[in-house]
């Protein structure tokens, strides 16, 4: 609790919050309390928030549902200008839900319903969940994060010393948002007779889903230097004769540009030719291979944890080992991302040695890492070189917070 309070104080005083930023604090044990309503983080607001943090005390039971729903309601009831303002709930817990709604599927449905209602009112909210230690329900916390769409993330905080780094990683991204509510629309082109030139059979990976009615894919908020790579499978109709390159896939990306304060749309057309023969010396596309490896790695972590959850640790380790070897032997192994995946596979395999070790650490590490790779967003436990989104801001904030915590520890030791 001491380190958590220090980290919250850093969030208030050292994360770069401005007068235009607003913060609320909701606590939950048996009871749920809004300790601080949405308050502008000017000098007076930061002083008020810091005073409230100093008064926080450990509670008894864990009303996770009540705390989460109340935090969403605080943001959903916000009035005034909506566009250009990013809204996020940062949920921190070290235990299992023991009050309120305790059943995970019911809890997730309730939270998703509240988030969907807020989004329908043009108040989209991202949810970031932080599970500390070995006693929290990682499946519940990850499901809560994904219920807010592709912008949410589950952080596994293994030790108390990881708390500042995890929060700094999350905040570093949130203060680096450059575009909001990005939506990609993919449609197959049609010829002059109205016949489809292509159809999209599926979007690879589990984080992005395509609405078949309008072809839209919700991408979420984008950080500075963010990269989002969506792999899709196209089905092309057979043709009797070779064809020159012709429009085959239509792509349209729409988002609210924070800097210009306007909604912008970028349209791109993919043209595909149908030559009589496969061109010679056609090598593997390195960028495509790297993204395929990323998605394979995320799915392998999911599969390994699914097997281990069912009690088959050996099968889980085998999935991780085989995927590690595929990555190490691919052209992606020399990239920073490929190296990061190999390293993570090695670290995860160690946590699959016993049921106790897996339950307390391995399951949480696997599910946090899988989510990170699926949405191409680094967390505090992912090598910084893996993904570019908000990298500079995250690194700077982590360094500043670490230095501040070290300075505070030295001051306490000297008293």
Is the same domain home to 58 and 39? yes
> What is the average pLDDT across 79-90?
75
Let me know whether 171 and 241 are in one domain.
no
Is residue 151 in a domain? yes
Q: Is 185:171 a contact under the CB 8 Å cutoff?
A: no
Same-domain status, 127 and 212: no
> Does residue 108 form part of some domain?
yes
Task: Please indicate, yes or no, whether residues 11 and 148 belong to a single structural domain of this protein.
Answer: yes
**Final residue belonging to a domain, choices 244, 274, 304:** 274
Is residue 313 located within the same domain as residue 167? Answer: no
pLDDT digits over 233-265, tens only?
999 999 889 999 999 999 999 999 998 989 999
> What is the structure's pLDDT at 414?
47
- My answer on whether 115 and 74 are in the same domain is yes
- Is the predicted pLDDT of residue 3 greater than 80, yes or no? no
Query: What CATH number is given to the structural domain containing 53?
Result: 3.40.50.410
Residue 353 within a domain? yes
pLDDT at position 159 over 90: no
Q: Does 64 share its domain with 157? A: yes
In a domain, 266, yes or no: yes
For residue 279, tell me if it sits in a domain. no
Instruction: Judge if 367 and 407 occupy the same domain.
Output: no
pLDDT tens digits along 343-379: 999 999 999 999 999 999 999 999 999 999 999 988 8
3-state class of 198 per DSSP?
A: coil
How many domains are there within the chain? 3
Q: Indicate the pLDDT class of residue 230, thresholds 50, 70 and 90.
A: very high
- pTM score, two decimals? 0.89
Residue numbers of the domain that contains 252: 180-274
- So what's the pLDDT on residue 250? 96
Instruction: Please check whether residue 203 is in contact with residue 291, taking contact to mean a CB–CB distance below 8 angstroms.
Output: no
| The predicted structure's pLDDT at residue 334 | 86
Chain-wide mean pLDDT for the chain? 90
Distances (CA, A) of 347 to 92, 206, 286, 342: 25, 23, 26, 9
Q: Evaluate whether residue 224 is within a structural domain.
A: yes
> Of 222, 254, 274, which residue is a domain's last?
274
Do residue 94 and residue 218 come from a single domain?
A: no
Specify if 280 maps to a domain: no
Give yes or no: residues 210 and 300 share one domain: no
> What number of CA atoms fall less than 13 Å from residue 368's CA on the CB side?
27
15 and 147 belong to one structural domain: yes
User: Which DSSP string corresponds to 146-193?
Assistant: HTT-TT-EEEEE-SGGGHHHHHHHHHHHHTTEEEEEEEEEEEE-B-TT
Together in a domain, 188 and 229: yes
């Amino acid at each position: 609790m001491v380190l958590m309070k220090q980290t919250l104080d850093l969030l208030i005083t050292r994360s770069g919050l401005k007068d235009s930023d607003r913060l609320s604090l909701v606590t939950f044990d048996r009871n749920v309390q809004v300790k601080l309503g949405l308050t502008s983080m000017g000098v007076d607001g930061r002083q008020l928030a810091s005073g409230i943090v100093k008064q926080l005390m450990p509670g008894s039971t864990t009303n996770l549902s009540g705390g989460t729903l109340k935090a969403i309601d605080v943001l959903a009831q916000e009035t005034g200008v909506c566009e250009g303002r990013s809204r996020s709930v940062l949920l921190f817990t070290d235990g299992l839900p023991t009050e309120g709604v305790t059943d995970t599927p019911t809890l997730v449905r309730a939270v998703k319903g509240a988030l969907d209602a807020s989004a329908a009112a043009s108040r989209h909210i991202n949810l970031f969940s932080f599970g500390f230690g070995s006693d929290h329900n990682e499946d519940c916390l990850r499901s809560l994060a994904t219920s807010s769409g592709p912008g949410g993330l589950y952080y596994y905080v293994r030790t108390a010393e990881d708390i500042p780094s995890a929060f700094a990683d999350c905040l570093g991204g949130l203060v680096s948002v450059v575009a909001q509510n990005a939506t990609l629309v993919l449609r197959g082109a049609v010829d002059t007779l109205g016949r489809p030139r292509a159809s999209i059979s599926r979007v690879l990976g589990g984080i992005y889903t395509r609405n078949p009615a309008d072809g839209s894919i919700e991408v979420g908020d984008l950080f500075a230097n963010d990269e989002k790579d969506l792999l899709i499978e196209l089905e092309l109709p057979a043709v009797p004769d070779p064809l020159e390159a012709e429009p085959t896939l239509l792509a349209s990306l729409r988002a609210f540009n924070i800097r210009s304060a306007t909604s912008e749309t970028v349209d791109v057309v993919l043209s595909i030719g149908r030559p009589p023969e496969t061109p010679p010396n056609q090598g593997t596309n390195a960028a495509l291979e790297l993204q395929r490896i990323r998605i394979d790695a995320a799915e392998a972590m999911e599969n390994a944890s699914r097997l281990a959850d069912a009690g088959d640790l050996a099968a889980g380790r085998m999935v991780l080992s085989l995927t590690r070897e595929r990555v190490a032997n691919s052209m992606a192994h020399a990239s920073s991302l490929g190296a990061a995946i190999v390293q993570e596979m090695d670290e995860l395999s160690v946590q699959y040695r016993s049921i106790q070790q897996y339950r307390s650490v391995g399951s949480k590490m696997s599910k946090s890492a899988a989510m990170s790779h699926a949405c191409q967003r680094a967390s505090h436990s992912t090598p910084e070189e893996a993904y570019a989104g908000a990298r500079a801001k995250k690194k700077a904030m982590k360094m500043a917070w670490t230095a501040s915590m070290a300075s505070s520890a030295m001051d306490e030791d000297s008293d």
